Chain A
Amino acid sequence: MPLPAKAFQRWLQGIAPDTSAADVCRVSGIKRTTLAQQMVRGKVAESTVVAISRAFGANPVAALSTFEAYNALAGPPTVPSVDELVSQISTTDLLRAVLARSATEPDGIPTGIPPLEPAPHGTSVKNWVDAIDDGELRHRVAAATGIAPQNYSAQLTANRLTPELALATAEAAGASPATGLVASGLITEIEAGWHPDARRAALNSMSDARLVALAGERLQALGRTLRRQEQDQEQTDMIWENLG
């Protein structure tokens, strides 16, 4: 839900008093026309607030939490579950972990593992929702927000999630709201209050069986996506061949 322009202006006054709109845009890297348009429409994008907070050294989560719609973000950061943390590790990194574990290391701590790719990854939205889904989550989100279930699923498949839906999803699942914003790429994991090694620790705490099973699930999902893409491509090529 975009933020009301009035509340945004009040917040901007607090964070950057006596700074002209032009300077705010320059420092935060937002196009002046974009901001002007958002103000005129009375709907300021969450990403605008995030960019400005970063530019002025404030925490984006704390900044967002001052807006009524994002009050749920207020308070000390909640620690995400192991499943949630692992959901924000890319499939490539999971596979690397599988390979590293199967290599026999004398002291059990594999060496030379590259750091995890920062969240979000190619399927982080869907993986996050799957990690907190008890089987009925999609229905509850649809009921709470009024979004059509197929539109919600389409967003997840396209790895997109509006901040509003991210919060609604977290609420419906009883999960930490900031994690949804990490999964959709609005904020970084550090900004969400995670320990820099939180994902690595979660990964290491997984048993071999769980890790391999999860990596297998991810690979299967990836295979399905690729197969669908290839089918779409075949179909398009057929059209080009006959009608192009």
Chain B
Amino acid sequence: MITTLQWVTFTVCAAVTIARLPSALRRQNRALFYVFALLTVAILLSIEAPYLAIDRALGGVNVANLLLRFIIFGAIFFVGVKITKGFGATREYGLLTGKPGIAALAICSAAVIVTFVMMDTRGSSAGLAQLSNQDDPHAALLEYYGAAGRLYPSYVSLILVPAMVRAVRSRLPWLVRLGAFLLCIGSVAIVLTLSFPFMPPELGYTQFIINYTAILCFVIGLAVIWFAKLHAARQRGKKSFTKK
């Protein structure tokens, strides 16, 4: 069930990335293409089989997981920048690209790297699941590593939520508002990942659902906004033909 969810998410994400390729080649909004591509790679790295293959090629010490963290940081940073800019959320844009945003990114990156280096990470394992069986100091480090990896995306998402709520309630075209609504759900889901350490282990599958809901909502939300643009362009074309 979870593997299916993972591959479905991967397929959706890869499809959007490929669909985005022509406009990227035309130099239209390349950042968006990179975001989709990064997210596709991120999903690939969170699925067991490809993760093991890639990580073993990288030396089998779970460097691929560290890579995954930074891919997510990069993707969420660019998504946040583009969304706040697009929706005219100047204050939120400042919180991302200004001193607090850069500080948050630096602190989280440092924490991820330091905890990773301190951990004994031998033995490829997707999501570092197998490493959690280790003795106390390492288990604690693993918790900190995971928390640091979730903190920065949550910081960005927390900033996005109010901007998206404003967009949903605005007079923008309804497709754009639908996209903003999906982005809002995705942001809330990412903020919820902060609660993972406090979740009982039996609820492990909800963590998966929250993670993939977040990614799917972001990818589909952005795709809907893109579709809204194409739709609006077509409508404008129609109007000018019939009315003028």
User: Contact mask B206-244 → A, CB, 8 Å, 1/0?
Assistant: 000000000000000010011011101000000000000
Q: Which of B32, B83, B85, B172 contacts A236 (CB 8 A)?
A: B172
Determine whether A241 belongs to the interface, using a CB cutoff of 8 Å to chain B: yes
Answer whether residue B29 sits at the interface, using C-beta atoms and an 8 A cutoff: yes
The residues of B that contact A242 with a CB separation of less than 8 Å are 29, 82-83, 85-86
Number of A residues with CB within 8 Å of any CB on chain B: 11
CA distance A238 to B83 in the complex (A): 10
Rounded to whole Å, the gap between the CB of A221 and the closest CB of chain B is: 17
For the A-B complex, the count of residue pairs with Cβ-Cβ distances under 8 Å equals: 46
Q: Would you call A239 and B171 a contact (CB within 8 A)?
A: no
The verdict on A236 contacting B29 (CB below 8 Å), with A243-B82, A243-B225 known, is no
B7 at the interface (CB under 8 A from A): no
Instruction: For residue B19, give the distance in angstroms from its CB to the closest CB of chain A.
Output: 13
* Chain B positions 38 through 70: 1 when the CB is less than 8 Å from some CB of chain A, otherwise 0: 000000000000000000000000000000000
Give 1 or 0 for each of A217-244: 1 = CB within 8 Å of chain B CB. 0000000000010001001101111111
**B30 vs chain A, min Cβ distance (A):** 12
1/0 per position for B164-175, CB-CB distance to A under 8 A? 000000111100
B172 contact set on A, CB distance < 8 A: 232, 235-236, 239
Q: Which residues of A contact B229 (CB under 8 A)?
A: 239-240, 243-244
Q: Which of A9-35 contact B (CB under 8 A)?
A: none
Query: Within the assembled complex, what's the spacing in Å between the Cα atoms of A242 and B226?
Result: 10
Report which of B29, B88, B232 forms a contact with A238, defined as CB distance below 8 A. B88
Q: Are A232 and B86 in contact (CB-based, < 8 A)?
A: no
B226 contacts A232, C-beta separation under 8 Å: no
Q: Mark B152-176, 1 if CB is under 8 A from A, else 0.
A: 0000000000000000001111001
B87 CB–A CB distance under 8 Å: yes
Contacts of B28 in A (CB 8 A): 244
Taken together as a complex, chains A and B put the C-alpha atoms of A238 and B230 apart, in Å, by: 15
What are 15 of the A-B contact pairs (CB < 8 Å)? Answer: A228-B171, A235-B170, A235-B172, A236-B232, A238-B85, A242-B29, A242-B82, A242-B83, A242-B86, A243-B82, A243-B225, A244-B28, A244-B29, A244-B226, A244-B229
User: 12 extra interchain contacts, Cβ-Cβ under 8 A, other than A239-B86, A239-B225?
Assistant: A232-B171, A235-B87, A236-B176, A236-B232, A238-B85, A238-B87, A239-B172, A239-B176, A240-B229, A242-B82, A242-B83, A243-B225
